[in-house]
Chain A
């Protein structure tokens, strides 16, 4: 069993050795960027799908939680929102709030 070391532990070891906590930041950048495949480059949509750039953080977080719970009806967003944690909603919300409208 020692041959298969979970990556989470590997990451911890790496962070401890390098003294840099870059993982959380790159995680946020990476998961936020995956949203842009539908929502447009820089969070700016060219069509019917809403833009994310410059949304207020609280609005974004509430929208995602409401999509997840079903409180806010959606076509596709319940399926997406259900895959992320509240902490990720907060981090993504801050990221999108920082993108220029």
Chain B
């Protein structure tokens, strides 16, 4: 096999660009410096910024994030279920300062990949050698008729980005009368956190079975079946919450009405006391702004060895926005962030990145206030297949138990600390 010139340029493009812009070819801290801008300080972005500084002494890192605090989606279902409060899932960014990361509290409103600059709402123009986008998801509220109005009126929530809606949904559950109906609608795959809806249903059932046992949970799932950890959740729903949960597969919500408190599918209009309707999702809008979202599609194709966009050079995408067979989880975002950071450090030093990266996912879900189960998988990059291949022996626990609940708590503490300190 021989390489033609175009192939060679494709392979060495990143290295060539570095030589042209005069960036570092050695890794000593005194060498020429490079600047990486990371946009979004969630699980992926904050991790990437931290590990870029840890491994790349010559790399200056600017981390742009509009929010003051990190609010974790993992464990946010525990807040909705009343097992934890908002403070437990809210963390500061202050401990990242020891890595020499420049934090900028602002939003990116324009990206110029030609000039390699980003513009912020606050009026700054910031140049980059490489840009990492970690915007999470955009919830497509337009895809459901009446959603935006009902959401603005506080009558429907998705609570699929932890924050104000998490707290609101908890309040609505507390205000719900005994004998009321909690309706949860689940979008079609792919969406953020595949087991998330089913964990939420379990923890709402856990709360209602104790506080309001005459209540009912109606689940309208756009998917044909439970998409993640089915045996785990079915076990909990049939043994712990028997009779409380009605699960309707292949039922997509098409419209909501906040004044009537109804959700409509193609079959029914259903009234509920609490409407928790999660719309379909796509890569964060920042991805469209940067031109890295796939044409006529929702997600972003990347080179899996570097997480560099397939469409725009020097722009990397990590986390939920990536088009892949990998689960869209906070844990996976941290693993992508580490592979991406390692690759950028190598590229900036004029070396080839690891050609065979490995990522893993670990995802615990609580099924009650004392039991959890997990799913765990290792994925190795296969260059010939151009995808991450799920390794043997990965999988989920069939039943929740107390030991995994303790590990679930420990996992959360450790991953928050790894991301933020």
**Contact indicator B414/A38 (Cβ below 8 Å):** yes
Q: Is B355 an interface residue (CB 8 A)?
A: yes
Q: Which of A37-89 contact B (CB under 8 A)?
A: 37-41, 45-49, 75-76, 78-80, 82-84, 88
| Nearest chain B CB to A32 CB, angstrom units | 9
> Considering residues B342, B354, B410, B417, which has the most beta carbons from chain A within 10 angstroms of its beta carbon?
B354
Say yes or no: A5 contacts B11, CB within 8 Å.
yes
Asked if A14 is at the interface of the complex by the 8 Å CB criterion, the answer is yes
A14 to B11, CA, bound (A): 8
Chain B at the A interface: SS class? mixed
Q: Which residues of A contact B338 (CB under 8 A)?
A: 30, 33-34
Q: Chain A residues near B417 (CB, 8 Å)?
A: 40-41, 46
CA distance A27 to B8 in the complex (A): 23
Let me know if B355 and A40 touch, CB within 8 A: no
Residue B415 lies at the interface, judged by CB distance under 8 Å to chain A? yes
User: Per-position contact with B for A6-32: 1 when CB-CB < 8 Å, else 0?
Assistant: 111111011101101011001101110
CB nearest to A40 among chain B residues: B414
A49–B378 alpha-carbon span in the complex (Å) = 18
B319 within 8 A of A: no
What is the total of A-B residue contacts with beta carbons within 8 Å? 163
A47–B116 Cα distance when bound, in Å, is: 43
Is residue A36 within 8 Å, beta carbon to beta carbon, of the partner chain? Answer: yes
Chain A residues closer than 8 Å to B121, beta-carbon distance: none
- Measured CB to CB, the nearest residue on chain B to A19 is B351
The residues of A that contact B386 with a CB separation of less than 8 Å are 4
Docked complex: B307-341 residues within 8 A CB-CB of A: 331, 334-335, 338-339
Residues of B near A20 (CB, < 8 A) are: 350-351
CB < 8 Å neighbour of B354 from A2, A26, A39, A75: A26
Does B269 count as interface, using CB distance less than 8 angstroms? no
Chain A interface: which size bin? 35 or more
Are B393 and A82 neighbours in the complex by a CB distance under 8 Å? yes
In the complex, which of the residues A22, A33, A39, A45 contacts B351, with contact meaning CB atoms closer than 8 Å?
A22
When A8-B383, A14-B15, A49-B411 are in contact, do A26 and B2 touch as well, CB less than 8 Å?
no
Show the binding face of A for B, using Cβ within 8 Å.
Answer: 2-11, 13-15, 17-18, 20, 22-23, 26-27, 29-31, 33-34, 36-41, 45-49, 75-76, 78-80, 82-84, 88
Q: Can you list 24 A-B pairs with a CB-CB distance of less than 8 A?
A: A2-B4, A7-B356, A11-B355, A22-B349, A22-B351, A23-B353, A26-B345, A27-B354, A27-B356, A29-B342, A37-B360, A37-B415, A38-B414, A41-B414, A41-B421, A45-B410, A47-B410, A75-B403, A76-B376, A79-B378, A79-B393, A82-B394, A83-B391, A84-B378
Residues of B within 8 A of A (CB): 1-4, 7-8, 11-12, 15, 51, 55, 305, 331, 334-335, 338-339, 342, 345-346, 349-360, 362, 374, 376-381, 383-384, 386, 391-395, 397, 403-404, 406-407, 409-411, 413-415, 417-418, 421
Top 7 closest A-B pairs, CB basis?
A83-B378, A47-B410, A14-B352, A11-B355, A82-B393, A7-B383, A83-B391
18 more A-B contacts (CB under 8 A) besides A38-B362, A82-B393?
A: A7-B381, A8-B355, A13-B8, A14-B15, A17-B12, A22-B351, A30-B339, A30-B342, A30-B358, A37-B335, A37-B418, A39-B414, A40-B413, A47-B409, A48-B410, A76-B407, A79-B393, A79-B395
